[in-house]
Amino acid sequence: MPVDPELRTLQIDIPARPESLVQLSLLMADEDMNLQAASRLIEGDMALAAAVMKAVNSSLYGLKGRVQSVQQAITYLGMREVAAITFEMGLRAAFPPSADLEPIWKRAAQRGVIMGRLASAMGQDAWAAHSAGLFEECGKAVLFRHAPDHYPSMLRAARGDIELVSLEVAGFGVSHDALGAALCESWGLGAAAVASVRHHVQAQAGGDLPEPQARRAITALSVIARAMMAEPDTLDEVVTRIAPQAEIDVTLALRSARRVLEQLQDAAARAR
């Protein structure tokens, strides 16, 4: 999809989607997806495949044995999670390596896993949820690449995303949530993922899903994931408040959120 013309006038470049991810998106869109073709596509890019394998074998996924191939990773984790890891590595590779970006990428990986698993447990679109989680903060990487001498200090100065958005608009004329949504559109993510990235700051800060928004469930999962990552003691309260706004059964949402949190805690415990 084309980038919003208003953003083009700001002369802030949106990185192009790598060709390997274009092909992977086409495979993911096929209801009868060829898993071997997907595996070969990922393995065809040696640097990408190596990065995927490193991520799969990290403590985040909590696998008991070491995975030796992309095909084996697909067997253990499923195609959605492996495809999402591939998108994560492709997204990272689109930006210059920097210690300032590492916390963003670390949160992106964890958030993507959380949102994908929550969606799967609640009968929502798990691919849209996982990709929305991965891309939620990507607008910060866009601004970092645009102003590497100025933006890191802005990141450190802000006490939260609401304050950061104000600083970004004052300094650049656009905020990271709008830029992130533009990148999602240009990389071909679905409308629900784009909407979640565009509205996540407002939804997480206020506790209410923005109106109007057709596919609100993915944004609701973003709010739940933030509680799980930053304030797990508030998880039940957040789920109880946000699930009805997205027409998600509260009992199902609570059960799913608690289960995913336990999975993450168990994986972290095994890694120690």
Backbone angles phi, psi at 174, to 5 degrees: -160, 155
CA distances from 103 to 109, 155, 199 (A): 10, 11, 21
| Closest residue by Cα to residue 28 from 181, 178, 253, 193 | 193
DSSP 208: S
Contacts of 166-175 with C-beta under 8 Å, sequence gap 24+, read 168/143, 171/147, 172/10, 172/12, 172/143, 172/146, 172/147, 173/10, 174/7, 174/10, 174/12, 175/139, 175/201
pLDDT band at 83 (very low <50, low <70, confident <90, very high): confident
| Opening angle at CA 113, ends 53 and 228, nearest 5 | 140
pLDDT band at 177 (very low <50, low <70, confident <90, very high): very high
State mean pLDDT over 185-194.
89
Q: What mean pLDDT value characterizes the chain?
A: 87
pLDDT tens digits, 116-149: 999 999 999 988 899 999 999 999 999 999 999 9
* pLDDT given at position 82: 84
Report whether pLDDT(2) > 60: no
Give Cβ neighbours of residue 98 (< 8 Å, ≥ 6 apart).
Answer: 144, 148
Q: How many helices (H) and strands (E) does the chain have?
A: 16, 0
Distance of CA 1 to the CA centre of its chain: 19
pLDDT band at 272 (very low <50, low <70, confident <90, very high): low
Other CB atoms within a 10 A radius of the CB of residue 258 amount to 14
Domains (range + CATH), the chain: 1-15+98-272 (1.10.3210.10), 17-93 (no CATH)
CA distances from 23 to 30, 86, 161 (A): 11, 12, 34
**pLDDT greater at residue 239 or residue 57:** 239
Q: How far apart are the first and last CA of the chain?
A: 43
Q: How far apart are CA 99 and CA 94, in angstroms?
A: 15
* pLDDT given at position 150: 92
The CA-based dihedral angle spanning residues 263, 265, 271, 272, taken in that order and rounded to the nearest 10 degrees? -160
| Closest residue by Cα to residue 203 from 174, 161, 258 | 161
pLDDT tens digits, 228-260: 999 999 999 999 999 999 999 999 999 999 999
* pLDDT given at position 5: 54
* pLDDT given at position 3: 45
**pLDDT greater at residue 173 or residue 10:** 173
Assign 68 to helix, strand or coil: coil
Report whether pLDDT(4) > 80: no
* pLDDT given at position 222: 97
CA distances from 152 to 14, 134, 149, 171 (A): 18, 20, 7, 13
**pLDDT greater at residue 10 or residue 215:** 215
Angle 250-271/235-242 helices, nearest 10 degrees? 150
Q: How many CA atoms lie within 13 A of 234 on its CB side?
A: 13
pLDDT tens digits, 5-20: 555 456 788 888 888 8
CA distances from 183 to 56, 84, 116, 186, 229 (A): 25, 16, 20, 5, 24
